[in-house]
Amino acid sequence: MFPFRVVSVTPKLPASISRLKELAYDFWFSWTIEAVELFRDIKPDLWRETGHNPVRFLIRISGEELERVAQDDDFLASYRRVFELYD
């Protein structure tokens, strides 16, 4: 019998928002409203469906949605503000 392994497949993050994965795995996001809002603003319905869990959110988000926000000037400004706080 072959052992089973769980494999999570996530879309590749565009370079301009590549640090979202880093943020998703850091509990810092959970007590920083700007970081919570950053994930929520990408796709609010999916954010609710995934129980506000950024790791699950990134696993389920489509590459097309990520490309869309990676080119959105307002989102990118929020992204930069969050990482100014984070760093």
SS3 string, 16-73, reads HHCCHHHHHCCHHHHHCHHHHHHHHHHCHHHHHHCCCCHHHHHHHCCHHHHHHHHCCH
Q: Whole-model pTM above 0.75?
A: yes
Output DSSP code: residue 85: H
pLDDT score of 1 more than 80: no
Q: Where are the domains of the chain?
A: 15-86
Distance CA 29, CA 35 (A): 5
For 1, the token pair is 């019998």
pLDDT score of 8 more than 70: no
pLDDT score of 47 more than 80: yes
What is the average pLDDT value for the chain, to the nearest integer? 93
Distance CA 2, CA 47 (A): 35
